[in-house]
A and B are shown apart, each in its own frame.
Chain A
Amino acid sequence: MAAMVEIEDLHWRYPTFDEAEEHPWTLKGINLRVEKGEFFGITGPSGAGKTTLCKAIMGIIPHGLKIPFGLYNHHFRGRVVVDGELVSAVDPEGNVVDGEARGRLFGRGIMSPKVGMVLQDPETQFVKMSLLHEVAFGLQLLRLPREEIEVRVRQALEMVGLGYLADDAEYIHPNDLSGGQKQRVAIASLLAMRPELLILDEPTSDLDPLGKREVIETVRMLHDEYQMTVIIVEHDPEILRRFCDRIALIEDGQVQCVDEATSFFRHMDRLERGGICRFEVSEIAYRTGIYHHGAIPITIEECLTCFPKGLDASLQPEDPRPQGEVLLEVKDLTYTYEDGTQALRGVNFQLHRGEVLALLGTNGSGKTTVAKILNGIYRPTSGTVTILGQDITRRSVRRELPRHVGYVFQNPDHQIFTRRVRDEIAYGLKNLGLSEEEIAERTVQALEAVNLTDKADEDPLFLGKGQRQRVAVASILAMRPEILIVDEPTTGQDYRMVSGIMELLENLHSQGNTVLIITHDMTLVANYCERVVVLLNGQDVFTGTPRELFGNPENLERTQLCAPQAISLSVAMRQLKEDFPLLLNKAEWIRALQTQRWV
């Protein structure tokens, strides 16, 4: 098979403003070969160099960057070839200035339109204010005839399942679409250019499970029908296993291994060492010593043949019922935006003291609108919301809500207001009008709660995303609200960061905090949430426990959600044995298996 991408000994370091102090190498000798027509996965922890590698294949690195003094040999080594064409290589002895070799850069440079790259955040890659022109932009630059652009735009939208938007595309701002639609628009704008290699850099991190599946299935269909080569950077093991032919693990700027997708996730030690997300069933099997033909199982089908079917029904734990007083009650809540968009059409739920409640739903179902109403940012259009016994439709009550309801926004970068972590925590406390002594005391406690005491004097903008998320949580925690709302805490984070945030939420719960989590991460829900409310099109369509939601396929279909793997396995086992315990998560499975060895 011919190679689509060949990378030899690729080294790269980003330029700094001050060339006297150079950054360490981001890529440290990457060797990689991707075959033509292959669906190739790349995974690895945040900061490993995955996006940098993709940009090097695209040619943005180094051709799209300004290298100070043209010192290419200080920043780039090795070579990148795409479809037999040299993208980038540097002759380290070339371009001698004042007796000093600065390196001469060769290669075609940016590989558009042969290579297309979809960035992680679709919103930031939109360059036009209409869907029509967003998809047409690359074609206009290719100077294709107007009629052909018209045809290709329509085709590209059809290919990604957005053909129904084509007639109104001129009036639709890409940013006004739902998360899944945005990502599909980003893909369509590249597909219209008919690339031979499509690179997707974490394309589904902001999407709900359904949107995630839709986007990847679209890409897989394109790959199968048009023999397109696809490289996808992803953390989700299910997506990598299901859609990829091979997977590379990148860690610390190096390729640690490349393996077939069917076997990549069976090497538990290697994955654990690399901080890579594993399958839940694999972890259960690994901890309890269950093997499928001598290997760790990764799919439910494999587990059905090797997991015990005789577990006692009594091993299913009782779901906790809400005990504490009702802190928050929402009845028939509706909300309509100024432009007439009806975001909420009747939402009802209660939140009890000390419980962890998950607010779930597809992109655009109204979850964040609910959170902003609960925090006093929006005023309900109709319905009642009572928090701590007070009706928040009254302006005076709404104004005071930030004292009682803390809201951690999805993007930590939108809520960092100062240049020192300590000051950031103190910012909200000053707004509460607390004394200097109390501010200092609460700051220390909040930093301890999120394990950031050693970062107290650092600039939050220079911390990693996971740490910035923690700063945001700490800033709200310090205000000691009765209710803490956390919006999408794990979005776009790698396995280690997700684990860290889950641990933090667990600690908060064990300290008696009342937490409302908005999330698309069903594993987080199964592991840490006691009850679930699901919104769909601005209405609540399910209220119950995670076990009731994930254990019943009808509920999943009605709510358009997907169950995590651990409970899906329980449900599959029930098909074989009716009274099989409905085990919700990894911990319940491991406990059950360790309690009762199978017959």
Chain B
Amino acid sequence: MASTKKSPAHGRKFVRSFLFSVRIDSPLARLHVLTKLFAILALSLVIVQFINTEAPDPIGTILLILLTLLALHLCGVLRWVFRSYLLVIFPALLGMALVWVAFNPDPRGGVLLEIPIYSGELDIGISLGLGLFLAVLIGWYVVRKEIFWGLVGGIALAVAITSLLGNPSLTFARVPFFHPLTVIVSRNNLTVAVTKALGYGGMIFISLMLVMTTRDIEFIGVMRQVRIPYVVAFFVSTMLRSLNMALVDYGTIRQAQVARGVSLRRKNLFQVIADMAYMAVPLTASILRRSSEVGDAILIRGFTMKAKEPTEFHEVRPFTLADGVVVGVCILFLIATFGFHLNLTRWMGIL
């Protein structure tokens, strides 16, 4: 059959990967999967060294996170995806840094702030503040069947009244539990907290780079190169491929939820979580239906559990010069970090 039409793929900028899509000509999309895996492993090891509690290297970590963000940008990931990840990951990292500071009272390097928050004993009793808080919370729930604003109102009232009148309390018993907690913000633990948060961020970004730039074919190719049985490779790649389909389903289901007015009212955290939970029904139904039909489809093509190693067809990708350069750079990083104990922060005389 004659084919004169112009291919829509001409000028096509993106190709779908396991997660979202990747720019066809992006440098990372052209790297071998094993190179990317090696880079993840090597840079993660370097990061682990940089976030070492005894000798943290915040400058090195910042450089690495910039490098991983650049890698993610080079993937050609769609801007909204990039922004969404930044939006989700940075609050999580901030939370992680705060938790580190709260639970690691390390006074080295000079204490900037010290707040005792727990004496190591639990008081069982009642106080004016607690009473007010509970009264507002329960009252609000009874009247409005809602918790969030009850919590906010209860805390606000308790803080206001107790700051004016004090907080008289009646203690029935005192039980030792855990150990005393004091939040100590020192130069040292602040540095470690920030370094760790950024370091883990870097690890997340560089791992995302792998799933965002890898396609099922490359994955099967690399599994065949390392002699993993085809049946295993096929099922793993099909499972990863279904991530992409589940994302598409999620998008449509979320839109259907919006069409049903899910965003019409301001909702508290619990209601937002409940809305997310509602999505499980259509998502599960569509995943089940899809998996059953994919099962039939692969049987029709002649796939069985006893399938012999099929012909290799544009799956196995050769290593290129770019792979060699990336592996070389990663090895240099490893040597500098573990062989020469490179610590950029100290080298620059900042800490």
Contacts and interface: CB of A to CB of B under 8 A. Distances in A.
Contact of B1 (A64, A159, A171, A376): A159
A537 to B, nearest CB: 12
A393 B119 CA distance: 56
Given A159-B1, A409-B259, A418-B281, A141 B303 contact: yes
Interface stretch (A125-133, A308-316, A439-447): A125-133
Nearest to A427: B260
B298 A413 contact: no
A409 B9 CA distance: 29
Contacts of B300: 58, 60, 110, 112, 116-117, 119, 125, 190
A116 B2 CA distance: 25
A415 B260 contact: yes
Contact of A145 (B17, B217, B311): B311
A375 B295 CA distance: 36
B314 interface: yes
A64 B303 CA distance: 11
Interface in A218-234: none
Interface stretch (B42-50, B55-63, B286-294, B323-331): B286-294
Contacts of A476: 259-260
A295 interface: no
Given A402-B258, A409-B256, A64 B296 contact: yes
Nearest to A117: B300
B326 to A, nearest CB: 23
Given A141-B301, A402-B264, A146 B296 contact: no
Interface in A110-152: 110, 112-113, 116-117, 119, 121, 124-130, 132-133, 136-146, 149-150
B12 A172 contact: yes
B116 interface: no
A419 B301 CA distance: 35
Interface stretch (A89-97, A160-168, A552-560): A160-168
Nearest to A433: B265
Contacts of A124: 289-290, 293-294, 297
Q: Which of A128, A141, A428 gathers most chain B CB within 10 Å?
A: A141
A158 B261 contact: no
A419 B3 CA distance: 49
B78 A417 contact: no
A533 to B, nearest CB: 21
A366 B249 CA distance: 19
A127 B298 contact: yes
Contacts of A427: 260, 278
Nearest to A125: B297
B195 interface: no
A253 B256 CA distance: 35
A125 to B, nearest CB: 4
Contacts of A170: 217, 314
A553 to B, nearest CB: 24
Q: Which of A119, A161, A417, A419 gathers most chain B CB within 10 Å?
A: A417
B14 A431 contact: no
Contacts, number: 220
Interface string B244-267: 110011001101111111111100
A340 B14 CA distance: 9
Contact of B286 (A112, A127, A407, A413): A413
A140 B258 contact: no
A501 interface: no
Contact of B308 (A139, A143, A166, A428): A143
Contacts of B4: 164
B261 A168 contact: no
Contact of A339 (B7, B78, B261, B293): B78
Nearest to A165: B7
B15 interface: yes
Contacts of B308: 143
Contacts of B297: 119, 124-127
B261 A418 contact: no
A143 B310 contact: yes
Contact of B311 (A132, A139, A158, A162): A139
B258 A110 contact: no
Contacts of B10: 168
Q: Which of A146, A168, A475 gathers most chain B CB within 10 Å?
A: A168
A124 B13 CA distance: 25
B313 A133 contact: yes
A417 B279 contact: yes
A171 B218 CA distance: 12
A110 B302 contact: yes
Interface in B70-116: 78-80
A87 interface: no
Nearest to B260: A428
Contacts of B15: 130, 171-173
Contacts of A377: 255, 258-259
B259 A127 contact: no
A172 B24 CA distance: 11
A60 B299 contact: yes
B216 to A, nearest CB: 5
Contact of B259 (A112, A140, A190, A407): A407
Contacts of B5: 164
Interface string A374-417: 01110000000000000000000001101100110101011111
A193 interface: yes
Given A112-B301, A142-B302, A416-B285, A431 B265 contact: yes
A470 interface: no
B174 interface: no
A548 to B, nearest CB: 30
B78 A415 contact: no
Given A113-B302, A409-B259, A176 B16 contact: yes
A164 B7 contact: yes
A164 B10 CA distance: 10
A409 B251 CA distance: 13
A129 B216 contact: yes
Given A110-B302, A130-B215, A428-B261, A340 B13 contact: yes
Contacts of A189: 301
B148 to A, nearest CB: 15
Interface string B310-351: 111111000000000000000000000000000000000000
A414 B249 contact: yes
A164 B6 contact: yes
Given A110-B299, A415-B260, A417-B282, 8 more contacts: A110-B304, A127-B301, A142-B310, A146-B311, A190-B301, A338-B78, A338-B80, A428-B261
8 contacts: A125-B294, A127-B298, A136-B313, A143-B309, A163-B1, A172-B15, A340-B13, A415-B257
Interface of B: 1-10, 12-17, 21, 24, 78-80, 215-217, 238, 241, 244-245, 248-249, 252-253, 255-265, 278-279, 281-282, 285-286, 289-290, 293-304, 307-315
Interface of A: 55, 58, 60, 64, 110, 112-113, 116-117, 119, 121, 124-130, 132-133, 136-146, 149-150, 158-173, 175-176, 189-190, 193, 338-340, 372, 375-377, 399-400, 402-403, 406-407, 409, 411, 413-419, 427-428, 431-433, 461, 475-476, 479
Closest 5 CB pairs of A and B: A168-B9, A163-B3, A431-B261, A125-B297, A140-B310
